[in-house]
Structure 1
Amino acid sequence: MSWMLDHPSWNLHPQPTRAMRTPTAIWLIKATTTYDPILLHGEGAAPRLEIYDPATLAELPLPAGLAHSLQGLNPIRRVTNADLWDALATAIIRQVIRAAQARTLYRALLDARGQPVDQAYLPPTAEQILAMTDQEFADLGMAFKHRPLQAAADAYLRHRDEWAAMPADALVKALQSVPRIGPWTAGAAVADHTGDFSLYPYDDLAVRTWARRADPASAWPHDELAFAARWRELAGPHLSTLTALTLSWGDHHVHQHHVHPGRPVH
């Protein structure tokens, strides 16, 4: 069993550790052989663990190269992000820039405004983001994230109860009413929040890049719409698992070869 540590809040050393808010509690999560989150404050259910198993894909008509690459993975564990605000803010930080740069910016924000918890940090709240000045964002190298983050923070504080009650597909649409949030950002945020990667923008550069690298012999469509149609056709009822495992394969590939696909603006 392996872990998908795609979210930048993970402190990877000495042991992958992450602090997370749920609506009623604060939790500390460590990537160990068992899933045993530690309740630090409050009450209620722990963040949910999703498992994406390559064996699920055995029945799909995948190209041989892609099937071979993904079947080489262990079942992948991923903790769903119970904090919708953080999922939204993280997706905004990931806009436009490469994954490595987004991680650096997110970690700088944690260091400057996060709440220390054991070996990790809780991310700044929407209220904290709204209180930050232009200069404070600039000092973190995040001047270009200032307006979209504060617009999202304002919208979250006004609509969080309404958003919390929405089905995931409706939430993806609702988030796009916020300035500077388009389909990519909304889909990435809701996939992070729910663990359902059928909502992830699977026509994006990351999925297309890792599909080609996992299976360079196949003729993958270069057009985003054509790729998305092909991906849905291959995935059938396992779109979430196929997308999550492909991203996880890419995450392992990144650590081995230091290759970082970028992210689109929305």
Structure 2
Amino acid sequence: MTWLMLDHPAWDLDAGAPVRGLRTPEGVWVLSCSPARTTTLIRGSGAAPVVDVYDPAALPEGRVPDGLAAALDRLGQVERVRTPDLWEALATAIIRQVIRAGQARKMHRVFRAAAGETAGPTWLIPTAEQTLALDAEQFTMLGMAFKRRPLQAAATAYLAHHSEWAQLPADVLVKALQSVPRIGPWTAGAAVADYTGDFSLYPYSDLAIRTWAALADPAITWPADEPMFAGLWRELAGPSLSTLTVLTLAWGDHHAHHARPDHGSSHD
């Protein structure tokens, strides 16, 4: 079975069904899927957003620990909608900084509803221009005072450099984004992974990956030290680093959907 990953905080609920609005270079799209996350319907103008498919069968046999491999195999194929707007990916990663996943999801929704445009039953992320137009008092009223400076610094940089950034290879883009104040390796990696669908660029030693790997395969003594965990993760993944990383996040998304723990990230 193939099911849709709803890790992105732009996913809302409409009559119990997940729904998301997003911008593409050619227009606005509204995406929805069944409550069971098995059917995706998309409508809009221009080319449709890319839906990446990640398959446990692509993982290298014999390298991934048995417990984790079995958990991901039971998960099956996973679809994930790639965020086609680099500004949205960057703003989303900034909102996710430091705070827990549930809080980030609520804040993302408040920000979209207050300052973004409507897209069917949901809202788009405010554009870089709309973000710069908000003053300190408005951010405070939204409960986002501590997000104002990083979001507005990123908006200024995006408007100045987005044409250049769009031409960069993904790994170079991760480095380029870190020239923006308040954007470090975690934020840049998470944004570019969301934007490109390449989760080898995701900060795969972060709390989310370490938490879900330990829950999926508690028989393994996973390193608590981030650099050591990252080294082990690369070794286990081999050439399938993106697939292993996104499927582990998807397993956590599926687990959280049922168990409702709230594991966030605590990085830049």
Match of 1:119 in 2: 121
Deviation of 1:264 after TM superposition, in Å, equals 2.3
Match of 1:63 in 2: 65
**Structure 1 residues 212-221 or 59-68, which shifts more?**
59-68
In structure 1, list runs of 5 or more residues that go unmatched. Answer: none
Does the 8 Å contact 2:212/2:251 carry over to 1? yes
- Counterpart residue identity of residue 109, structure 1: F
Change (3 A) 1:261 1:34: closer
Encode CA deviations 1:197-253: one digit per residue, 9 max, x unaligned. 000000101001100011111011111000000000000111001000000111111
Encode CA deviations 1:44-99: one digit per residue, 9 max, x unaligned. x2211100111212624111111111111021000100010010000000000000
Does the 8 Å contact 2:178/2:184 carry over to 1? yes
Equivalent residue of 2:179, what SS?
coil
Give the alignment partner of residue 204 of structure 2, picking from 202, 223, 237.
Answer: 202
Residue 213 (1) aligns with residue 190 (2): no
Match of 2:132 in 1: 130
Match of 2:262 in 1: 260
Deviation of 1:34 after TM superposition, in Å, equals 5.0
Deviation of 1:35 after TM superposition, in Å, equals 4.8
Identity %: 59
Residue 39 (1) aligns with residue 44 (2): yes
**Structure 1 residues 9-18 or 177-186, which shifts more?**
9-18
Give the alignment partner of residue 248 of structure 1, picking from 247, 250, 261.
Answer: 250
- Counterpart residue identity of residue 37, structure 1: I
Runs of 4+ in 1 over 2 A off after TM superposition: 31-37
Encode CA deviations 1:180-211: one digit per residue, 9 max, x unaligned. 00000000000000111000000101001100
Equivalent residue of 1:72, what SS?
helix
Does the 8 Å contact 2:60/2:237 carry over to 1? no
Does the 8 Å contact 1:50/1:195 carry over to 2? yes
Deviation of 1:127 after TM superposition, in Å, equals 0.3
Superposed counterparts of 1:60-209, under 5 Å: 60-209=62-211
**Structure 1 residues 249-258 or 189-198, which shifts more?**
249-258
TM-score by length of structure 2 reads 0.95
Deviation of 1:24 after TM superposition, in Å, equals 2.0
**Structure 1 residues 151-160 or 12-21, which shifts more?**
12-21
Does the 8 Å contact 2:199/2:243 carry over to 1? yes
Deviation of 1:114 after TM superposition, in Å, equals 1.7
